[in-house]
Structure 1
Amino acid sequence: MDVAESRHLKGSVYFYRLTRKFIDEKDNIPQDAKQVMYYSLAIGHHLGIVDCLSAAMVCTGPEYLEWISALDTESEAYRKMKGFLMFGEITIYPEHINMLALAFDAIDANAQSVKSRELTVGFIEVLTAIYNEPTMYLMIRGG
């Protein structure tokens, strides 16, 4: 696939950051079922949870492509970020933050456009927030 021809580059690219979670209790859930749901939450499963995402950053498709093009195209970071071009959405979890932060931090800021520098700085800030709060994640999605 020629990444420059991805249909996901035609619109905007949003970086959605998890801001909070809440339990969807609009239905009358029996007490026994609630206990299972709460136990599932305690062990890390997200049954009945609604994630609230807010846009932390936004760019155009071509700006996204320019930004990730500064990465080594053979790197795991590039493959992860290129996933957006193929699927129109990627999710970044705590297990990705070290690899991505190191890769984007290694880019020479003087070789980047103003928008790419803004994206790098903002992206590393969100990765830092995920590091500090591991239940948080980032979703990059076209819109």
Structure 2
Amino acid sequence: MDVAESRHLNGQVSFYRLSRKFVDESEMPQEAKQVMYYSLAIGHHLGIVDCLKSEMDCTGQEYLEWIRALPEDGEAYRKMKGFLMFGEITVYPEHIDMLALAFDQIDTERQSEKSRELTRGLLNILTAIHHEPTMYLMVRGG
């Protein structure tokens, strides 16, 4: 796929920092379990993420310009390019070292101010995920 032709370039890109939560069901009454399962079922992919405040935003074109500073044959570029293919990517703790190293190596003198802002923001989010491994990042089109 040629990323320059991605339909996701025309919209907004939002970066959400989320925490994985779990429910201990071992001592939960059956009635409460049914309510919990129903709530999870109706809420899944129905805009739950959209009600959260994004950590940073950019346009699809700004996103493409930003990730083009990464080596195209590198793992970080492939990971970030996933947004342009699918309209969404998730960054888990196992991705933070690879991404932090790649974005930290970008020559900021060759970046636009917006790209520098996105790099700083991403590195701050990755640092937070490093300190709180139940956290993850979702990059999603809007």
Aligned residue pair count: 127
SS of structure 1 residue aligned to 2:134: coil
TM-score normalized with structure 1 length: 0.79
Gaps of 5+ in 2: none
Amino acid at match of 2:3: V
Q: CA deviation at 1:32?
A: 9.6
Are the counterparts in 1 of residues 20 and 136 from structure 2 also a CA contact under 8 Å?
Answer: no
- Residue 9 of structure 2 corresponds to which residue in structure 1? 9
- Residue 100 of structure 1 corresponds to which residue in structure 2? 99
Q: Which has the higher contact order (CA 8 A, sep 6+)?
A: 2
Distance in 2, matches of 1:61 and 1:128, equals 24
User: Cα deviations across residues 7-38 of structure 1 (Å, max 9, x unaligned)?
Assistant: 01110000011168475xxxx9428959xx9x
Q: Which runs of 4+ in 1 moved over 4 A?
A: 19-23, 31-34, 50-53
- Residue 72 of structure 1 corresponds to which residue in structure 2? 71
- Residue 130 of structure 1 corresponds to which residue in structure 2? 129
User: Cα deviations across residues 58-94 of structure 1 (Å, max 9, x unaligned)?
Assistant: 0000000000000000000000000000000000000
Distance in 1, matches of 2:29 and 2:80, equals 40
SS of structure 1 residue aligned to 2:118: helix
- Residue 111 of structure 1 corresponds to which residue in structure 2? 110
Matches within 5 A, 1:32-43: none
- Residue 30 of structure 1 corresponds to which residue in structure 2? 30
Q: Percent identity of the aligned residues?
A: 67
TM-score normalized with structure 2 length: 0.80
Are the counterparts in 2 of residues 89 and 141 from structure 1 also a CA contact under 8 Å?
Answer: yes
Distance in 1, matches of 2:32 and 2:80, equals 42
